[in-house]
């Protein structure tokens, strides 16, 4: 008999909810065959088996929460690398195979958090050497165990090493679980007041937060707490632009994709980031440095049934509006069906959130940490606009824009200049051709 245990699945992924069990007792499984579909706070993953043989017992079911290192099923047959008799090195290989074949929707690390030269999901370092009890303590403390230096034999991490890491971060005024400057005493998270008993006033229904929704809440809370937000509002006259968009909305090379305002906005933003490089940066608070990026990747918020996701268009400045519209349509569809890859969720420099299809006049988007700015787009409306040359009012299609930015990096005057450049590029496409 050989146990198949849940292997290391990716950076900081320690637990997940079972969506589906893909085998049952009596089935024959082979190595690399998917046996479990798992939703974590970072991903929806198909977990492949590292053992082969006939399934004797399945120890989990849909809805269960499972942890790395937990036994998933027992098979009768050859003991594979992830089995009970496997070595740590073999278990690492199992985890690497799982990561390599996973279908991933990444929200555990904010788009843009990958630095140039960082390893991809399939090139990660081996799991940190630590016992299950130490790993469990790290999760409870909110510490990334892979960032801890072990003092034991072979670099093995102990509970004392974890505590030393926590003490050091508290001394620096950094929140333990967020990785960003915290609030409250010694940088710890501010405690929330307990909820009242809502049933006193009538019936209620409780629904568990999905892993995606839970992680989104944590990430946005950290961003709102760490970043001193400023939001600048403006409007662009897109009357001529919209007429042109409708004329050229379906290009043969677009493969049926519609030329959208989002695609146009991404192209304009990509050009603006070259003119205003401070908007294409991140703050390294530990080093006291601003990281200026030499590449331009733009994230676009997508509303899905299970939460907000921000897939990233890489090298957006090197793509035409047609190419951007095609890629955005494909990314949005993959986001809605949980088929985004890890790479498609990482490396963002700036985000765009278009709520124009839903309505509204303006909003204050939250900066997607560790980025420093985000552009919000609301619904365009026909409005009477004063025409100085004729001293009359004329109906014009006006597009509301809202730019939120990190005041630690970007001054108010620069925020106005950036947004005015975006407005002028939308109103006068020659500006984009001239400077973009």
**What are the pLDDT digits (tens) for 391-432?**
999 999 999 999 999 999 999 999 999 999 999 999 987 777
Do the bridges between strand 312-313 and strand 373-377 make them parallel or antiparallel, or are there none, so unpaired? Answer: unpaired
- Spatial contact of 251 and 324, defined as CB atoms under 8 Å apart: no
- Spatial contact of 272 and 264, defined as CB atoms under 8 Å apart: no
Q: Which residues pair with 299 in a beta bridge?
A: 312, 351
State the Cα–Cα distance between residues 41 and 180, nearest whole angstrom.
Answer: 19
- Taking Cα atoms as reference points, which of 34, 19, 28, 27 lies closest to residue 97? 34
Q: pTM value?
A: 0.62
Active site residues: 407
pLDDT in tens, the chain (436 residues): 899 999 887 656 778 888 889 999 999 999 889 898 888 765 677 888 989 999 999 999 988 889 888 999 999 975 444 444 333 333 333 333 333 333 333 333 333 344 334 443 334 756 678 776 677 677 666 677 888 888 887 788 888 888 777 766 655 544 444 444 443 333 334 445 678 889 999 999 998 887 778 878 888 888 888 899 999 999 999 999 999 888 887 666 556 678 899 999 999 999 999 999 999 999 988 888 999 999 999 999 998 887 888 999 999 999 999 899 999 999 999 988 888 887 898 899 999 999 998 988 999 999 999 999 999 999 999 999 999 989 999 999 999 999 999 999 999 999 999 999 999 999 987 777 766 5
State the Cα–Cα distance between residues 435 and 385, nearest whole angstrom.
Answer: 27
End-to-end Cα distance, the chain: 64
DSSP conformational letter for 154: G
Q: Which residues pair with 403 in a beta bridge?
A: 232, 375
- Work out the angle at residue 217's Cα, subtended by the Cα atoms of residues 212 and 219, and round it to the nearest 5 degrees: 95
Tokens of 248: 């050229």
State the Cα–Cα distance between residues 323 and 259, nearest whole angstrom.
Answer: 9
- Work out the angle at residue 348's Cα, subtended by the Cα atoms of residues 344 and 353, and round it to the nearest 5 degrees: 95
Which are the contacts of 263, defined by CB distance < 8 A and separation ≥ 6? 321, 322, 324, 325, 328
Do the bridges between strand 392-406 and strand 381-387 make them parallel or antiparallel, or are there none, so unpaired? Answer: antiparallel
Q: Which residues pair with 38 in a beta bridge?
A: 18, 45
- Spatial contact of 71 and 5, defined as CB atoms under 8 Å apart: yes
- Taking Cα atoms as reference points, which of 112, 45, 56 lies closest to residue 83? 56
Strand ranges across the sheet with 71-76: 2-5, 71-76, 53-58, 28-29
- Taking Cα atoms as reference points, which of 29, 21, 107 lies closest to residue 346? 107
Residue-range domains of the chain with CATH: 2-101 (2.40.50.100), 125-187 (4.10.320.10), 227-435 (3.30.559.10)
Question: 177-206: per-residue pLDDT in tens?
Answer: 444 444 333 333 444 567 888 999 999 999
Q: Which residues pair with 54 in a beta bridge?
A: 28, 76
State the Cα–Cα distance between residues 350 and 300, nearest whole angstrom.
Answer: 9
Number of Cβ within a 10 Å radius of residue 318: 10
Q: How buried is 339 (Cβ within 10 angstroms: 0-12 exposed, 13-18 middle, 19+ buried)?
A: middle
Tokens of 174: 């950094």
Measure CA 424 to chain center: 30
φ and ψ at residue 309, rounded to 5 degrees: -125, 155
- Spatial contact of 68 and 135, defined as CB atoms under 8 Å apart: yes
């Amino acid at each position: 008999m050989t146990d198949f245990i849940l292997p290391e699945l990716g950076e900081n992924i320690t637990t997940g909810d079972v969506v589906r069990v893909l085998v049952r007792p009596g089935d024959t499984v082979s190595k690399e065959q998917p046996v479990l579909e798992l939703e974590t706070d970072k991903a929806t993953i198909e977990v492949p088996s590292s053992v082969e043989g006939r399934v004797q017992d399945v120890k989990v079911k849909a809805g269960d929460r499972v942890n790395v290192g937990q036994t998933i099923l027992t098979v009768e047959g050859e003991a594979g690398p992830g089995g009970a008799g496997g070595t740590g090195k073999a278990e690492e290989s199992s985890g690497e195979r799982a990561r390599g074949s996973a279908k991933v929707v990444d929200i555990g690390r904010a788009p843009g958090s990958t630095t140039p030269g960082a390893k991809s999901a399939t090139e990660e370092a081996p799991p940190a050497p630590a016992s299950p009890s130490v790993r469990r303590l790290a999760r409870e403390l909110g510490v990334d165990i892979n960032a801890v230096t072990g003092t034991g034999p072979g670099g093995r991490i102990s509970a004392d090493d974890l505590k030393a890491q926590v003490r050091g971060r508290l001394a620096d005024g950094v929140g333990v679980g967020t990785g960003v400057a915290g609030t409250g005493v010694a940088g710890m998270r501010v405690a929330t007041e307990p909820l009242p008993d809502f049933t006193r006033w009538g019936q209620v229904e409780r629904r568990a937060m999905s892993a995606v929704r839970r992680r989104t809440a944590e990430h946005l809370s950290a961003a709102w707490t760490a970043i001193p937000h400023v939001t600048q509002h403006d409007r662009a006259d897109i009357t001529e632009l919209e007429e042109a968009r409708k004329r050229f909305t379906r290009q043969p090379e677009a493969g049926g994709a519609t030329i959208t305002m989002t695609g146009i906005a991404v192209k304009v933003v990509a050009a603006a980031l070259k003119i205003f490089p401070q908007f294409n940066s991140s703050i390294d608070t530990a080093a006291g440095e601003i990281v200026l990026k030499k590449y331009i990747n733009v994230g676009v918020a997508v509303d899905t049934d299970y939460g907000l996701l921000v897939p990233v268009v890489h090298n957006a400045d090197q793509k035409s509006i047609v190419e951007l519209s095609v890629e955005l349509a494909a990314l949005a569809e993959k986001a809605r069906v949980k088929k985004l890859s890890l790479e498609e969720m990482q490396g963002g420099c700036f985000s765009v959130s278009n709520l124009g299809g839903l309505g509204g006049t303006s909003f204050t988007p939250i900066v997607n940490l560790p980025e420093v700015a985000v552009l919000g787009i609301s619904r365009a409306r026909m409005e009477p606009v004063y025409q100085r040359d004729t001293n009359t009012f004329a109906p014009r299609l006006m597009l509301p824009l809202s730019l939120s930015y990190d005041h630690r990096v970007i001054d108010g005057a620069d925020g106005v200049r950036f947004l005015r450049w975006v407005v002028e590029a939308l109103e006068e496409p020659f500006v984009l051709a001239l400077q973009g």
